[in-house]
């Protein structure tokens, strides 16, 4: 955002809240809710829809702002408490703490308790998910509070609001795209017929990118583009901004009965669906505003988007590409860590330097496109904030003693990576080593697990936490998230987190890629997280059913200097030694010189 470049202070955001209150008064509103969302239910938002950030100054990816005539507050979970406290200081906006994964919606409870019967609460229905809208409407209606979803007050108070993103859309082609577009559409239509639906509406950007074998750059770090799609049994319409798709690509799509329509035409397309027809929608993945445009005479069938399930199960060809990508990513990491260990104590290295050097190492690798998220490099106390981000105004120099946490990843044409490692700086203590080893035991425990095919993924969370719980510790985030294939680094439907509901759609199946990333954080001191990506693979069939296990995909040593060897069992040592032998075997052909020497040193058996 333009004015963010000028580092606005707390008073800037206080004035913006007052502008919003002025617009509220004109519309006779008691409260306005501003979610972290867009018309596509995205986790990371194009600037046009970053209203909560523009109004409050809080830059975290998750948070909900509520404003009344005499109150403003942002609800965030424990991952963001420290960040939000600092960024909201001086704004007059309260930090409202909620627990990670909390199933209730505390901001909804607050509105129901603090808005009087007969008064009106507004939220832009175009960016509010269907499930969230139902929860909000039920809670407010029960208290006699009116809900309006037809207002976007940001346009009235945000004079320099960025326009819609305009980056070009391009094809993701073979061999990296292993399944052709017509085959993917045919599978979606098979499910539509199974559900008795003649139409299927999709808004989620990763579903669209995967289904149409297209990629873009409308969302930072995610190779997706802003669009909607309406799929029929014989043809499909892709609603995307003018000029984003070239004439040649439009022609190719049209040959496969995919029409390119203006982005703004989607409302009319939904409004003119034939009476008596059936529309398949995923209520978790479309907005209330979109659904409201569908005529009452159209029957709605609710189910998870077929593409969400299909894209989560990588093909054998996808898996081969991903393994090769992991070797290249591992080589980039080896080059980075070789430089880092040599430069430490001789050069000034900051958390920002780490981001710069690691990004450069990845950029030298074939097929690299961009980072998969903003690099987290947190030294000592900064590492205790799971979503910490160093800035020019606030960052640490890497010097003295302690632990450095680095969480990073890359987007390659042939895969998406995400890895966290912790390394020692100077002299570390027995307590550092104890915490590190406890977390490592959690990573190993889940990495070695066998489990029934179809188990609901949140149920696996306790396997990683058990060694950490045994030590009397815990962490306030999930243990693992699904990962896309040159797509979003956070992808469903699977998630390994006891904070998430264990619904049938979270079932584990072959080919799913998930992170394993337990942690332990001591606020003001240090943070530890050890993260690998893994892929589900068959583990055999018994009289009790089919079983799955994990193939570890990530290829980078775990720093054994941080381990308290007395806390590791023999089988845990064997797992780590086998893993390091694999890392050495597969990454060493891609490095030479100092990087190869570093790799050989850091993969020595313990």
Residues of the chain with CATH 3.40.350.10: 2-157, 170-310
pLDDT in tens, 408-453: 999 999 999 999 999 999 999 999 999 999 999 999 999 999 999 9
Task: For 546-570, give the DSSP string.
Answer: EEEEEEE-------GGG--GGGS-H
CA 326-329-334 angle, to 5 degrees, is 120
Tokens of 88: 């909201």
> What are the helix (H) ranges across 421-546?
430-447, 461-470
- pLDDT confidence bin for 100, thresholds 50/70/90: low
Tell me the torsion sign for CA atoms 381, 85, 406, 466. Answer: positive
How many other CB atoms sit within 10 Å of the CB of residue 597? 13
| Proportion of the chain in helix, strand, coil states, percent, rounded to 5 | 40, 25, 40
Residue 50 has pLDDT above 80, yes or no: yes
Mean of pLDDT values over 249-259: 97
Question: What CA–CA distances, in Å, run from 384 to 372, 391, 475, 519?
Answer: 21, 16, 10, 10
- pLDDT at residue 98, as a whole number: 85
pTM for the whole structure: 0.92
Fold of 313-601: Creatine Amidinohydrolase (3.90.230)
Residues of the chain with CATH 3.90.230.10: 313-601
CATH ID of 170-310, from 1.10.3720.10, 3.20.20.70, 3.40.50.720, 3.40.350.10? 3.40.350.10
Tokens of 122: 């507004």
Bridge partners, 256 (sequence order): none
Buried b (16+ CB within 10 A) or exposed e, 96-132: bebebbeeebebbebbbeebeeebbbbbbbbbbbbbb
Angstrom distance (rounded) from CA 438 to CA 519: 9
Mean of pLDDT values over 254-272: 97
pLDDT in tens, 576-596: 999 999 999 999 999 999 999
The mean predicted confidence, pLDDT, of the chain is 95
Q: Quick one: CATH architecture of 2-157? A: 3-Layer(aba) Sandwich (3.40)
Residue 294 has pLDDT above 70, yes or no: yes
């Amino acid at each position: 955002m333009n004015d963010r470049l000028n580092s606005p202070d707390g008073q800037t955001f206080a004035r913006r809240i007052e502008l919003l209150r002025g617009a509220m008064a004109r519309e006779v509103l008691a409260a306005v809710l501003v979610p972290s969302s867009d018309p596509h239910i995205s986790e990371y938002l194009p600037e046009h829809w970053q209203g909560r950030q523009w109004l409050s100054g809080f830059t975290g990816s998750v948070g909900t702002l509520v404003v009344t005539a005499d109150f403003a507050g942002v609800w965030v979970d424990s991952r963001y408490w420290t960040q939000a406290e600092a960024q909201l200081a001086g704004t007059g906006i309260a930090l409202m703490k909620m627990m990670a994964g909390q199933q209730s919606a505390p901001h909804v409870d607050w509105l129901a308790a603090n808005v009087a019967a007969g008064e009106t609460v507004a939220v832009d229905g175009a960016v509010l998910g269907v499930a969230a809208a139902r929860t909000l409407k039920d809670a407010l209606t029960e208290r006699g509070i009116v809900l309006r979803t037809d207002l976007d007050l940001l346009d009235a108070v945000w004079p320099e609001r960025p326009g819609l993103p305009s980056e070009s859309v391009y094809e993701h082609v073979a061999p990296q795209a292993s399944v052709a577009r017509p085959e993917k559409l045919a599978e979606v239509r098979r499910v539509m017929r199974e559900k008795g639906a003649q139409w299927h509406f999709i808004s989620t950007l990763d579903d669209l990118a995967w289904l149409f074998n297209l990629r873009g750059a409308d969302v930072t770090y995610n190779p997706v583009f802003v669009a909607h799609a309406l799929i029929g049994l014989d043809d499909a319409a892709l609603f995307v901004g003018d000029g984003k798709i070239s004439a040649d690509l439009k022609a190719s799509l049209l040959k496969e009965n995919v029409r390119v329509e203006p982005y703004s035409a989607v409302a009319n397309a939904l409004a003119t669906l034939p009476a008596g027809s059936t529309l398949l929608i995923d209520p978790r993945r479309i907005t209330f505003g979109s659904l409201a445009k569908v005529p009452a005479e159209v029957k709605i069938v609710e189910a998870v988007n077929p593409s969400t399930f299909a894209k989560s199960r990588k093909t054998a060809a996808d898996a081969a590409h991903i393994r090769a990508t992991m070797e290249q990513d591992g080589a980039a990491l080896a080059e980075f860590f070789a430089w880092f260990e040599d430069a430490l104590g001789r050069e000034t290295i900051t958390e920002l330097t780490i981001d710069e050097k690691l990004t450069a190492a990845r950029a030298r690798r074939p097929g690299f496109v961009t980072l998969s998220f903003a690099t987290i490099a947190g030294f000592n106390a900064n590492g205790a904030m799971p979503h910490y981000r160093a800035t020019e105004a606030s960052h640490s120099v890497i010097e003295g003693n302690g632990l450095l946490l680095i969480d990073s990843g890359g987007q390659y044409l042939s895969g998406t990576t995400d890895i966290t490692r912790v390394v020692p700086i100077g002299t570390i203590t027995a307590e550092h080593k104890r915490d590190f080893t406890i977390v490592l035991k959690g990573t190993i425990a889940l990495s070695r697990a066998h489990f029934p095919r179809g188990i609901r993924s949140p149920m696996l969370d306790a396997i990683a936490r058990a060694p950490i719980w045994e030590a009397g510790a815990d962490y306030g985030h999930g243990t693992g998230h699904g990962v896309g294939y040159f797509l979003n680094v956070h992808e469903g439907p699977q998630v390994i987190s006891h904070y998430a509901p264990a619904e049938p759609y979270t079932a584990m199946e072959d080919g799913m890629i998930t992170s394993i990333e337990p942690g332990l954080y001591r606020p003001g001191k240090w943070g530890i997280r050890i993260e690998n990506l893994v892929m589900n693979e068959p583990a055999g069939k018994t009289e009790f059913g089919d079983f799955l296990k994990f193939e570890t995909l990530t290829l980078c040593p775990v720093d054994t200097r941080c381990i308290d060897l007395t806390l590791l069992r023999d089988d845990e040592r064997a797992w780590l030694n086998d893993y390091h032998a694999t890392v050495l075997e597969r990454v060493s052909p891609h490095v030479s010189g100092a990087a190869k020497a570093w790799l050989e040193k850091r993969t020595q058996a313990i």
